[in-house]
Amino acid sequence: MTCSKIDSTPIKVTLVCGLLGSGKTSTLQHLISQKPADEHWAVLINDFGLASIDSSLLKQQDVSLFEVQGGCICCSAQRPLAQALAQISQLDNLDHLLIEPSGLAHPAQIIDTLKKTATHRPLHLESTLCVLDLNRFSPAVYQKSALLRDFIQLADVLLLTRCDQLAPNALAELTDFLSQKMLGKPHIQAASFGKTPLSTLKLKAQRPPFLLLQAKNTAQQAGLVEAFESQLPKVKQSQILRSNTQAISWIFQPDLLFMRPKIKTFFADPPLGLIRAKGLLRTGNNWQLINWVNGELTFSDQAWRQDNRIEMLFEHPIALTELEQAWVQTIHTQS
């Protein structure tokens, strides 16, 4: 008797998010129309958007359609979402899964469900696309909508719809505004009427470790970036930039948990020579943007799921061992 081999090849997943009426469904249909003939795709849609999908297109392109009803798949319908993901993962020869949540759904919670759900084949989030209607967007709207800010912060690609209706200078100003608000180097491209090339699915935002030094308001100095062997737990990458100033950064696994009270204690009596510190750290179920400047520490909620990271800028060289011994106190350890 022989046992059949379980396929462990990850299923690629793309999350297509955006506010209600932003153009997600048009974008989804345009991507489906370009699907390679030799690939099998599935589409998972919250019940709000189901009626807009062209069923004849799905049948023609060999795309399986799934629906999650009973509320937004980030909250009241999380369990049905997990059940749907488990069912989809059993499809034969499935190459790609596209998820279009409701415009009310929080993408960070959907990403959490993707990571936690036990599936027949593993699910790998390839990218997150955010569809943004520029006719209904402004810096003021960005400040008012926490959900929109999370869409933008989590995006690998920003797809700008109705940008052809804006004056060139207005489009340039909004694009520059979005570039400054996003962490790292995401891709920003026009997608009028949802038209975007299939290659968009392969784009990933660049998340460099030295976000602080790349900020426009920070004077960069020519220096040498070196990797160093960190003694901290679950470190994915640790680097030091030696220059007139010295920058040290760590990137940790996303499951590492930091303690907010201990972070406050660390920065209440910071290492000598600290000029600036910035980080994205998991302090519970959510991530916090940590910002220390001029002796003041601030926390703000951030829709971030990729990793933990902290960066510190010093006015002179500092002993790494002593710094890590102090910082390790902020990390939660399992008892």
Convert the pLDDT of each residue in 97-138 to its tens digit.
Answer: 999 887 667 777 888 888 888 899 999 999 999 999 998 888
Residues facing residue 100 across a β-bridge: 45
Using an 8 Å Cβ cutoff, are 121 and 8 in contact?
yes
> Which residue has 């696994």 as its token pair?
253
**Residues 177, 221: one domain?**
no
**Residues 146, 275: one domain?**
no
Provide the pLDDT confidence category of residue 3 given band limits of 50, 70 and 90: very low
**Residues 194, 47: one domain?**
yes
CATH number at residue 64: 3.40.50.300
Residue range 71-100: average pLDDT? 81
**pLDDT value of residue 218:** 44
Say if residue 56's pLDDT is above 80: no
Say if residue 268's pLDDT is above 90: yes
Number of domains within the chain: 2
**pLDDT value of residue 47:** 55
Angstrom distance (rounded) from CA 59 to CA 41: 11
Using an 8 Å Cβ cutoff, are 33 and 58 in contact?
no
Domain region containing 63:
11-202
- Terminal-residue alpha carbon distance, the chain: 45
**Residues 220, 190: one domain?**
no
**pLDDT value of residue 222:** 47
Angstrom distance (rounded) from CA 1 to CA 5: 13
Residue 189 CA: distances (Å) to CA of 160, 166, 175, 192? 6, 14, 9, 10
SS3 state at 175: helix
Q: 121: number of CA atoms within 13 Å, CB side?
A: 22
Provide the pLDDT confidence category of residue 205 given band limits of 50, 70 and 90: confident
**Residues 23, 170: one domain?**
yes
Q: Taking the model in full, what pTM does it have?
A: 0.72
Angstrom distance (rounded) from CA 19 to CA 101: 10
Using an 8 Å Cβ cutoff, are 332 and 257 in contact?
yes
